[in-house]
Amino acid sequence: MWTDYKDADIYFTIADSRFHTLNFVYERFQRSIPSHSHGNGSYEIHYIAQGRGRALINGVSYEVTPGTLYVTGPHVEHAQSPILEDPMCEYCIYLKTEKRRKSVSSFPTGEEELLSAFENTPFWFGQDTQRVGALVVEIFEELQSRRTGCIFQVEALLRQLLVNLVRNYEKSVRQKAPKPAAAGDKTAVIIEEYFLYQYRSLSLEELAGKLGLGTRQTERLLQKQYGKTFLQKKAEARMSAAAILLSDPARSITSVAEDLGYSSIEHFSSAFKSYYRISPRQYRKEGVYHSFPDSSESGCENRS
């Protein structure tokens, strides 16, 4: 099951930051999501309503259960894999922030403190103890019903959501934010979703069509926003998904190759070894996740 709302186009402000909601997604996971990250000012709020799975965040594996809440901010690498016998159902809200100028010298009481606590916590993982889940469900119900005043209600709920997120953070250790890098708004969403969800059959021409650009323009855009070519992004997406799928001992290497769209297990094994410098069988035997190799050194597949 999949539901998303990409065109709500809701804005709200807290202190000197303007928040823009780029996407609302609900999904019952039957597939793995490869490792990815988002650009400056970008935050994903993940709430697991049902089911179980695993999340790999900044190289650390976490068990995901009902009531799990986690936030991935700018440049936090994260991937997800469901337990197929009890697949997780996730609500995800994608927010983008940007600083704005304000004509007055002070903000309403508490706004700066709230904003600072949110922005200084680029990653948080734990169980929801502050009714964030209930607020997320209410937001999706509002977006579905489109009743009078829906946008105003969702804006108010999103502000309350940030308050409740920060209250979840208060007793947790906050991690240092990674070094920023540039990325666009809606263009970045199109690119990131394409590599996340279409990794079985990626093509430069199809991505260019989704962006409304030529293939050369698309290549330049990928280099500018991510410092990588299309083939490097393609290899990254497919190999990240491969690593997650191989971590499930119930799956054969042949089924992993087929799920990723490879024409043969030999082709898959060659691509995997070129990227990770270890065979799929050895990787599974070691039983550990590998971080991405440097894109300038990793092998790039160019066949399907």
**pLDDT, tens digit, 9 for 90 and up, residues 87-141:** 999 999 999 999 876 555 566 778 999 999 999 999 999 999 999 999 999 999 9
Q: Does residue 136 contact residue 39 with C-beta atoms inside 8 Å?
A: no
pLDDT band at 179; cut points 50, 70, 90: very low
Is the predicted pLDDT of residue 163 greater than 70, yes or no? yes
Q: What is the pTM of this model?
A: 0.65
pLDDT band at 299; cut points 50, 70, 90: very low
Span 22-40, pLDDT tens digits:
899 999 998 888 888 888 8
Span 1-18, pLDDT tens digits:
778 887 778 999 998 899
Q: In what helix (H) or strand (E) does residue 111 lie, and over which residues does it extend?
A: helix 111-119
Q: Which two tokens stand for residue 207?
A: 């991505």
pLDDT given at position 205: 93
Q: Of 28, 70, 32, 33, whose CA–CA distance to 50 is shortest?
A: 28
**Residue 50 Ramachandran class (φ > 0 left, ψ -120 to 50 alpha, else beta):** beta
pLDDT band at 192; cut points 50, 70, 90: confident
Q: Does residue 299 contact residue 238 with C-beta atoms inside 8 Å?
A: no
pLDDT given at position 129: 93
Distance CA 40, CA 238 (A): 24
pLDDT band at 302; cut points 50, 70, 90: very low
What average pLDDT does the structure give for the chain? 84
